[in-house]
């Protein structure tokens, strides 16, 4: 009987560790949806980290974030009631703590730069991250928030 209870307890713990809450699932669905939209619009080639780096280099070179797409990532996040971006970032930050702290420190003073000089922001992001970092949703989300906020559609 003890063995059976231990097995059931172990299964419960494992499933709890792997199961994401609704907020996290909703946020990741919106992230993937926006990412797929950018791929369809040929802003990104695919969802691999190297393409995020390629886009950042393009922004740094052009000093422009004016891309044509018909999707507001930020509005979609705000209109999805079950999404808690702060909580999501905090949970994912714990997995990559040192890199996330460096990123947040470097990016904390970019409000004016983002509006005036997207190239500076892109260069800062590139100085902190590598292509493999964008395989992590923490960095994808951070970049896509910057990208959507800085993008100016005519």
Assess if residue 16 is contained within a domain. no
Cα 26 from Cα 81, distance rounded (Å): 9
Cα 100 from Cα 129, distance rounded (Å): 10
Assess if residue 13 is contained within a domain. no
pLDDT tens, 105-147? 766 765 555 556 888 888 988 988 999 999 988 889 989 988 9
Assess if residue 129 is contained within a domain. yes
Q: Output 92 or 141, whichever has higher pLDDT.
A: 141
Assess if residue 52 is contained within a domain. yes
Structural domain boundaries enclosing 80: 21-150
Assess if residue 12 is contained within a domain. no
| pLDDT tier, 100 (very low <50, low <70, confident <90, very high otherwise) | low
For 68-154, where are the E strands, in sequence order? none
Q: Which of 29-33, 97-101, 117-121 has the highest mean predicted lDDT (pLDDT)? A: 29-33
Assess if residue 144 is contained within a domain. yes
Assess if residue 82 is contained within a domain. yes
Tally of structural domains, the chain: 1
pLDDT tens, 54-87? 999 999 999 888 888 888 898 898 888 778 877 8
Assess if residue 11 is contained within a domain. no
Q: Which residues neighbour 90 within 8 Å (Cβ) at sequence distance 6 or greater?
A: none
């Amino acid at each position: 009987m003890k063995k059976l209870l231990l097995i059931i307890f172990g299964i419960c713990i494992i499933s709890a560790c792997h199961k994401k809450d609704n907020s996290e699932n909703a946020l990741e669905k919106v992230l993937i949806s926006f990412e797929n939209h950018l791929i369809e619009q040929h802003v990104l080639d695919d969802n691999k980290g190297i393409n995020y780096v390629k886009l950042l280099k393009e922004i740094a070179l052009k000093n422009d974030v004016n891309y044509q797409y018909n999707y507001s990532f930020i509005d979609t996040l705000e209109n999805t009631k079950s999404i808690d971006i702060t909580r999501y970032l905090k949970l994912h930050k714990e997995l990559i703590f040192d890199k996330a702290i460096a990123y947040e420190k470097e990016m904390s003073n970019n409000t004016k730069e983002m509006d005036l000089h997207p190239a500076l922001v892109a260069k800062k992001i590139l100085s902190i991250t590598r292509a493999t970092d964008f395989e992590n949703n923490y960095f994808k989300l951070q970049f896509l928030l910057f990208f959507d906020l800085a993008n100016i559609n005519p």
